[in-house]
Structure 1
Amino acid sequence: MKKLFTTLSNIWKIEDLRVRITNTLLFLLIYRIGSFVVLPGVNAAQISSETNKEGLLGLLNMFAGGSFSRSSIFALGVMPYISASIVVQLLGIAVPYFAKLQKEGESGRNKINQWTRYLTIGITVLQAIGYLRSQITEPGSKIIDEPMFTIVNTFVLTAGTLFVMWLGEKITDKGIGNGISLIIMVGIIATLPSAFGNEFNNRVNSGGLITFIVEIVALILVVMFTILIVQGTRKIAVQYAKRIVGNKQYGGVRQYIPLKVNAAGVMPIIFAQALMFIPATIPQFFPNLSTNSVLMALVDYNSWAHNLLFAVLIILFTYFYTAITVNPNQMADDMKKNGGFIPGVKPGKTTADYIDDVISKITLPGSIFLAIIAIIPALAATVGVSGPFSRFFGGTSLIILVGVVLDTLQQIESHLLMRHYDGLMKTGRIKGRSAVPAATGTVPPAI
């Protein structure tokens, strides 16, 4: 306990760190206040508070901190920006123009960010129209007549998403941690107290307090397991040749390239969830298929068929996303230009093949573990854990929470160590997701 108070005191003594943490808390407070501001022309009393649909819509509501179900001005949150970031990142693989921008340093990143903002506006407008027409449908929920209701609130939702995106950029610039990731994390955490309280009340009322304690222990174990996956790395030793410049010697030291066991992060789960949402939409266009047993099994989020297909898609997307984000050829070329080599491996193509082989070997267990984490919420719901609380047992939300917390703590620890204070831990140092090799030549995911 004394160590904790000493660390907090050291954090408060560093003016720059104190200002950054204060700015971050203020920006996040603004976001949370805005998430309770209802759209103009919406009768909040007529809006159902249970927009807790399973699948993608339930996930979006969690990411938005409940704004989605409250018809808030921040109902769409930062998800349009995340979608735009993913599209631009994929364009960097398929379109030479964007691939060239990724290699132009700061100026290229600025142009990519500009393109991402433009695409965010387009995606937000489409999602806003779809949201207004599909989610605000209760009788008496619209005070303003159409089409003015849709026109006004399309502008409001678009402006709300752009404002949240601006808040995220300000947190990154003047706060601590990645702003977009912190906003998503705050949205997820906002739903935790109510989910925890409901689960506790249900267990106490049914005389299952011991069961609730077992659930908490299981949740802690799953969090520890997730941390191992997020932190897991395979280090490749790199030796740099000695160079004499004037009277000084450069190089001649051994460094390591840390290859992540889960280099794709949470992206495979997001891609797989988007595809798994397709079976639920097919009956809306083909009503005669609504009784198809295979289709209904895929729609049931607790069925073995759904979770098996979900796990297979995650494994496939993990390989796909790792292949497009980690470039062994670029790593080998950068290593060769800087006079580095892997002991026992020839520079050039042989090095690239060696790195590619290592990535392939560590991606398999990483993808399997990621698939296990993704289907744990369904397993938890099967054994009786309530839906909202079961989402914290794994899946996208847990991986985001673990990754963002580790990244933020890593930045705080860097400020402490830079000013010769002790770190946050007595032994070892916190390693966040941002600790990726500079030679990868990749653009990190937004979340």
Structure 2
Amino acid sequence: MVGSGFQNIFKIPELKKRVIVTLGLILVYRIGVHVPVPGIDSVALASFFAKAKGTLLGLFDMFSGGAFEKLSVFALGIMPYISASIILQLLTVAVPHLERLSKEGEQGRKKITQYTRYGTVLLSIIQGFGISIGLESMTSPGGAAIVIFPGWGFRLITVITLTAGTAFIMWLGEQITERGIGNGISLIIFAGIICRMPNAIANTFKLVSTGEMSIFLVILLLIFMVAVVAVIIFAEQGQRRIPVQYAKRIIGRKMYGGQSTHLPLKLNTSGVIPPIFASSIMMFPATIASFIKIDTMQNFAKSLTPGSLIYEILFVGLIIFFCYFYTAITFNPVDVAENMKKHGGYIPGIRPGKRTSDYIDKVLNRITLGGAIYISCICVLPSILISKLKVPFYFGGTALLIVVGVAIDTISQIESHMISRNYEGFLKKGGTRVKGRF
């Protein structure tokens, strides 16, 4: 059972140590979120962000776990690292040198990781400078200046502080991955999103106590939330398994091969990258409008507010586009077909080579459409709940996809440690184990 599974964690010294290290490093991250950058009027900044919900600033704040709203040393969060990783992945397709590195095994991956770190620092410097310039021109709704002492001194301190904060978060993530349990970068984002749950629960209780929301509606929402989480868990582990047969080969006096296996194609191959990209693009006009007080820009931004029909249609279209785009970059049917042919593998009824790659590509396109529709439904869910049911908090969207996906991966790694040492996992023996997404 689940209870005995958690007890088994602390019976394995190595796993116990990894869990404690993970929790300790996440605690360090959460403490740093509350350390402010020098020279900021926190009251004026808080009032400004109260009006900036639904913009790109709000998206950054979500990924920074509230650090951006406070403009703490971790205000940039881990977004520069994620952006650098995505840029490197895109360049791997276009730049032959990076493509060769990606195929050189462990040494190549280390080199790409090093380039990603350099890119993270560069992006942090650029973003930090842009934020410092933007802050100097921003005022609260009451007219108070956010920056107390503007100038190059403030800009330099802000750039150094924010860049150092992002580099430290990147280091924390790598330490969690190496010495803790789970993927460090994902867990840092996970912790930042989860920390907002107490405020959402408190707001819900406040509305119930004042009579603005009925207890019956709260119960229905809880049932609905459990159902949505179950659907995400099911979809994130969903695969289309293409049967693969390997021919028998005689090497010397021994016969090798002849086994049957399968090629797993995930329903959601692109993960949470499409909604992140789509959200960034859709929120860009609102972000520009918060800095530029021009009527035309203000009206254009209002037409693209979450909840409007135009916004939702464009948002879904961008998600579907990026699902196909990112899947095409990360999964190459031609390379898969060539590797299968090289090792004597084939799909029953399909000729090796081009026919195999065409068949894989056809299947991949079909399941990618299903995955894109699934992601779109989850991402438009918050707008529907807020606009139609007056729910006082965001439920669904990119944040929920990240939370559920990271939870699945972390539980999977914990179970692997347990089972490798002959301990039961979170479920009874003979039952179905939780499988990771990768």
The residue number in structure 1 matching 2:341 is 336
* Preserved contact between residue 236 and residue 342 of structure 1 (Cα < 8 Å): yes
Task: Return the offset for 1:350.
Answer: 1.2
* Preserved contact between residue 39 and residue 149 of structure 2 (Cα < 8 Å): yes
Task: Return the offset for 1:431.
Answer: 1.4
Query: Is the alpha carbon distance of 1:288 and 1:297 closer, same or farther for their aligned partners in structure 2, counting shifts above 3 Å?
Result: closer
1:59 aligned to 2:64? no
1:116 aligned to 2:121? no
The residue number in structure 2 matching 1:235 is 241
| Count of residue correspondences | 427
Query: Is the alpha carbon distance of 1:298 and 1:369 closer, same or farther for their aligned partners in structure 2, counting shifts above 3 Å?
Result: farther
1:9 aligned to 2:15? no
Distance 2:314 2:332 in 1: 28
The residue number in structure 1 matching 2:263 is 257
Q: Percent identity?
A: 46
Distance 1:5 1:234 in 2: 33
Distance 2:321 2:57 in 1: 23
1:287 aligned to 2:298? no
Query: Is the alpha carbon distance of 1:291 and 1:51 closer, same or farther for their aligned partners in structure 2, counting shifts above 3 Å?
Result: closer
SS in 2 for 1:65: coil
For structure 1, the 5+ residue unaligned runs are 435-447
Task: Return the offset for 1:135.
Answer: 4.3
* Preserved contact between residue 2 and residue 427 of structure 2 (Cα < 8 Å): no
Per-residue CA deviations over 1:203-237 (Å, capped at 9, x if unaligned) read: 33125222122222222121112222211110111
Task: Return the offset for 1:256.
Answer: 1.4
Choose the corresponding residue for 2:361, options 333, 356, 359: 356
The residue number in structure 1 matching 2:102 is 102
Alignment of structure 1 residues 24-63 onto 2, 5 Å: 24-48=22-46, 51-52=49-50, 53-63=53-63
The residue number in structure 2 matching 1:395 is 397
Choose the corresponding residue for 1:161, options 166, 181, 195: 166
Per-residue CA deviations over 1:231-265 (Å, capped at 9, x if unaligned) read: 11101111122345567653222111110111011
The residue number in structure 1 matching 2:423 is 421
* Preserved contact between residue 407 and residue 432 of structure 1 (Cα < 8 Å): yes
For structure 2, the 5+ residue unaligned runs are none
1:406 aligned to 2:408? yes
1:209 aligned to 2:215? yes
Alignment of structure 1 residues 424-443 onto 2, 5 Å: 424-426=426-428, 427-434=431-438
Task: Return the offset for 1:396.
Answer: 0.6
* Preserved contact between residue 84 and residue 123 of structure 1 (Cα < 8 Å): yes
Query: Is the alpha carbon distance of 1:24 and 1:277 closer, same or farther for their aligned partners in structure 2, counting shifts above 3 Å?
Result: same
Distance 2:406 2:79 in 1: 16
Distance 1:356 1:194 in 2: 45
* Preserved contact between residue 183 and residue 410 of structure 2 (Cα < 8 Å): yes
Distance 1:249 1:413 in 2: 36
Query: Is the alpha carbon distance of 1:298 and 1:323 closer, same or farther for their aligned partners in structure 2, counting shifts above 3 Å?
Result: farther
Distance 1:197 1:133 in 2: 36
Moved more, 178-187 or 138-147: 138-147
Q: Which amino acid aligns with 1:238?
A: V
Task: Return the offset for 1:424.
Answer: 1.9
Relative to the length of structure 1, the TM-score reads 0.90
Tell me how large the CA RMSD over aligned residues is.
2.0
